[in-house]
């Protein structure tokens, strides 16, 4: 452990924390000349009474004053070993007072090495801790936050205590049939491109995609290539989903029965969604999923976007309507997608920040594709990546 012995000077930052206390014991066991920093008068008293250090070996960890004081205490030589837990200016100052050939040890490295040390080194077990039950983790974290605690905070329960922890259900793993066609409405240039790749990776064999302007652009061609490389086939169709006739024509063009639909076209979404529903009804399709890429703006509203918010709310309500008829439907209220799609690629930065203020953000690499094949959610699923991936109600 940093070749510590009785000829070395050691500085232990934040010495009254759990790691700090254990390190103080180890350093004193090795006979080193130990300096320490602490963050409050209480902690100073604790170090004095527990380890017998004098005031001229205990400094303040809250600013860089410890640097000059340690240089004075070591006759400008500095210390041989620093156990660091500080950052920023305090870290810079720590490097400054490291003696020639000295060693800076980050606490996590020390912990893994010290586990191999002799138990003899620990003069006593760590007795400075505050215990909280599993049912009170938020308070335990709140107790840590001000940095005023001494020792460790331990989460533990007495034996035989019954603990119930709320958990999110694991996502369903869908199996796609080889003889089924899954239809994506909304081209391959935006988010639907990521969905198409997700479906291909998940084992779909036959996809069909619809957009008005076709799929000859560079991005769409690249996605088609990736889908084929994944062993799936994809029919690229040109149709306007807001035209009933074009939707029906597109349905008839695909080779196999259509088993799942993802509606991601942004323009005139109410009309387009209704046309898709009607075309499926006409063919008596029993869809495994009918997923609409909706937006959180239908829930929280958006500056200058009343029409868009209303359309999203329609999609959420339409999902409920299909449920009432015993049909699969899911309206996914996406937050702002940062790395793909309309907002990321088409919108000016200033407009983007006005529109997206207060929205939760996500990325396509955050695998929202997984949610696009939910057979059903009770009415709307809100997709966020920050804390909880998906909330249903």
Ligand X SMILES: NC(=O)c1ccc[n+]([C@@H]2O[C@H](COP(=O)([O-])OP(=O)(O)OC[C@H]3O[C@@H](n4cnc5c(N)ncnc54)[C@H](OP(=O)(O)O)[C@@H]3O)[C@@H](O)[C@H]2O)c1
189 binds ligand X (CB under 6 A): yes
CA gap 24, 89 in Å, rounded:
24
DSSP string, 277-327: HHHHHHTT---SEEEEEEETHHHH--TT-HHHHHHHHHHHHHHHHHHHTT-
Counting residues that bind ligand X (by CB under 6 A) gives 28
Q: Does 336 bind ligand X (CB under 6 A)?
A: yes
289 beta partners: 260
Q: Is 266 in the site for ligand X (CB under 6 A)?
A: yes
Q: Is 191 in the site for ligand X (CB under 6 A)?
A: yes
Report the candidate in 220, 216, 259, 263 with the shortest Cα–Cα distance to residue 241. Answer: 263
Going residue by residue from 294 to 313, which x/- string records binding to ligand X, judged by CB under 6 A? Answer: -x------------------
Q: Does the protein bind ligand X through residue 222 (CB under 6 A)?
A: no
CB 347 within 8 A of CB 170: no
191-227 exposure pattern, b = at least 16 Cβ within 10 A, e = fewer:
bbbbbbbbbbebebbbbbbbbeeebeeeebeebbebb
**Per this entry, what is the length of the chain?**
393
Mask 341-380, x = binds ligand X (CB under 6 A)? xxx-------------------------------------
**Which of 267, 270, 306, 357 is close enough to bind ligand X by CB under 6 A?**
267
The mark string for 158-187 relative to ligand X (x by CB under 6 A, - otherwise) is ---------------------------xxx
Residue 81 is a binding residue for ligand X (CB under 6 A): no
Distance of CA 8 to the CA centre of its chain: 43
Nearer to ligand X, 12 or 276 (CB): 276
Residue 267: CB minimum distance to ligand X, A? 3
Interface ranges with ligand X (CB under 6 A): 185-187, 189-192, 210-213, 240-242, 264-268, 272, 293, 295, 334, 336-337, 341-343
């Amino acid at each position: 452990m940093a070749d510590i012995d009785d000829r070395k000077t050691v500085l232990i930052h934040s010495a009254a924390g759990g790691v700090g206390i254990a390190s103080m014991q180890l350093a004193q066991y090795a006979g080193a000349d130990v300096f320490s920093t602490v963050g409050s008068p209480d902690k100073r008293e604790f170090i004095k009474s527990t380890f017998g250090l004098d005031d001229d070996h205990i400094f303040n960890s809250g600013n860089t004053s410890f640097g000059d004081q340690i240089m004075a205490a070591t006759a400008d030589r500095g210390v041989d070993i620093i156990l660091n837990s500080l950052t920023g200016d305090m870290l810079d100052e720590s490097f400054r007072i490291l003696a020639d050939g000295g060693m800076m040890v980050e606490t996590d490295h020390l912990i893994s090495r010290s586990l191999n040390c002799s138990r003899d080194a620990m003069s006593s077990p760590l007795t400075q801790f505050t215990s909280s039950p599993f049912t009170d983790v938020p308070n335990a974290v709140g107790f840590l936050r001000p940095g005023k605690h001494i020792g460790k905070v331990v989460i533990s329960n007495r034996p035989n205590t019954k603990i119930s922890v709320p958990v999110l259900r694991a996502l369903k793993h869908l199996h796609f049939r080889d003889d089924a066609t899954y239809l994506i409405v909304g081209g391959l240039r935006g988010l639907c491109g990521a969905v198409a790749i997700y479906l291909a990776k998940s084992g779909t064999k036959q996809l069909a995609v619809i957009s008005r302007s076709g799929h000859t652009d560079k991005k769409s061609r690249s996605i088609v290539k990736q889908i084929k490389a994944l062993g799936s086939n994809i029919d690229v169709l040109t149709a306007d989903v807001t035209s009933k006739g074009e939707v029906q024509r597109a349905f008839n063009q695909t080779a196999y029965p259509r088993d799942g639909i993802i509606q991601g076209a942004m323009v005139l979404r109410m009309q387009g969604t209704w046309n898709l529903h009607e075309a499926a009804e006409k063919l008596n399709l029993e869809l495994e999923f009918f997923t609409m890429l909706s937006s959180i703006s239908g829930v929280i509203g958006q500056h200058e976007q009343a029409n868009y918010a209303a359309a999203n709310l329609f999609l959420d309500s339409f999902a409920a309507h299909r449920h009432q008829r015993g049909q699969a439907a899911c309206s996914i209220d996406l937050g702002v997608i940062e790395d793909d799609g309309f907002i990321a690629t088409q919108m000016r930065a200033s407009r983007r920040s006005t529109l997206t203020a207060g929205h939760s953000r996500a990325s396509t690499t955050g695998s929202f594709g997984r949610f696009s094949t939910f057979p059903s959610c009770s009415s709307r699923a809100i997709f966020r990546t920050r804390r909880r991936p998906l909330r249903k109600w």
